[in-house]
Amino acid sequence: MNGLNPIRPTQSVLSWLIANREGVLVGALVAAAIVALMLVARWIGHRMVAGETAGQHLGWRSVLGRVLAKTTIFFMVMAALDIVATYAQPPARFQHLVDIGFIIAFALQGAIWLRELILALIARRVGDGTTESALGNATAIIRVLVSITLFALAIVVILDNLGVNVTALVAGLGIGGIAIGLAAQGIFADLFAALSILFDKPFRKGDVVRYGTTTGTVERIGLKTTRLRGNGGEQVIMANTKLLEQELHNVTDARMRRSWLTFGLVYQTSPDTIARLPEIVTEAVESVKNCKLVRCCATGFGASSVDCELVYDDRTRDLDTIARHKSEIVVGVKRAFEREGIAFAYPTQTSFTAAPDGTFVMPYMRTDQSEAKPQA
């Protein structure tokens, strides 16, 4: 018994508090102030979020509010304990436990803040009330993907700070991610194409778009496909990746529609008449509402006509109205040409007969010889 070391009594909590009362008091005051600031910031964040108007474009104020509103009580408590421990100098074991708890709280809180920041930025980019269905479908998947990624990183950070070798874990996660990506690359391709449509907004629900030989109105932007209503009434379903690979024309966003009318005039038309074409057709074009003449001129010599074109702008966006305007302009130009005695050309072929000496003979062209009367 004499060879054994005597057991040293542990320091009681009360005696430790008495011995370190000044440090504990200062740490408690600092911790209380910081926790109070975080509580005020969270309250302000909730007020900012409550002030959001549904369907309106989110501003940076709302983004900041969403982030602040997600500050957890667990993080506040661990931050307060860590501050107190810094000033009070507790036993090593207690200090170690506080450090571990603060690392866990900070890593998880950082993941929560980043998740809310990313989701708020996405909502700010596409939350303008025009793509609620697509955004609602995409937000659930985006939230899952962002949450898994950020919390996986948080766990890796926690384990690394606890002294665990995370090299093998990170390598395994990387290989697993590659395998999943290769297995579901088609799904992810359509998903990212949908996100590209939501972010870049080449078109919105209700827009009239044209790609290839198809023209239709966008009815729904999904995660994998976009559905359009064709001009013939049929529903056109197109994969998002295929849709973005083609040259896309957004007809709705056009400030005006430029239309071309090509026609030909007979070669007997005088040069002065051709020069007066803009004056002749101006009334026929600009008498139609929202239409304005751009030019009307000759463009070349065709096989059987003087080729011309009429170009005008129509500020109307409705396709049926545009078609009616075009018909009215065609009729108006026809009437104007009839008043002016201008003849449209149509494809013809004329044969000429020549005499042995190379001169033209009747009935296709009169010559002096053919007009001479025979002698009695």
Kindly report, residue by residue over 288-341, the tens digit of the pLDDT: 988 999 999 999 998 889 999 999 999 887 778 888 999 999 999 999 999 999
Cα-Cα-Cα-Cα dihedral of 44, 50, 51, 56, to 10°?
130
Is residue 32 domain-shared with residue 144, that is, in the same domain?
Answer: yes
Is residue 138 domain-shared with residue 278, that is, in the same domain?
Answer: no
DSSP-derived 3-state class of residue 7: coil
Domain count, the chain: 3
CATH, residue 336: 3.30.70.100
Kindly report, residue by residue over 110-148, the tens digit of the pLDDT: 888 888 888 777 776 655 444 445 555 566 667 777 888
Is residue 106 domain-shared with residue 229, that is, in the same domain?
Answer: no
**Residues 226 and 218: beta-carbon distance below 8 Å:** yes
CATH, residue 214: 2.30.30.60
Cis amide prior to 363 (ω within 30 degrees): yes
| Position 5 pLDDT exceeds 60 | no
Is residue 84 domain-shared with residue 205, that is, in the same domain?
Answer: no
Is residue 53 domain-shared with residue 166, that is, in the same domain?
Answer: yes
- The answer to whether position 351 is within a domain reads no
Within a 10 A sphere around the Cβ of 337, how many other Cβ atoms?
A: 20
Cα gap 138→179, rounded to integer Å:
23
Looking at residue 176, what is its pLDDT? 67
- The answer to whether position 357 is within a domain reads no
Is residue 36 domain-shared with residue 85, that is, in the same domain?
Answer: yes
Write out the two tokens for 225: 């496909």
pTM of the model: 0.49
Taking Cα atoms as reference points, which of 70, 142, 69 lies closest to residue 111?
70
300: domain range?
257-340
DSSP-derived 3-state class of residue 374: coil
- The answer to whether position 356 is within a domain reads no
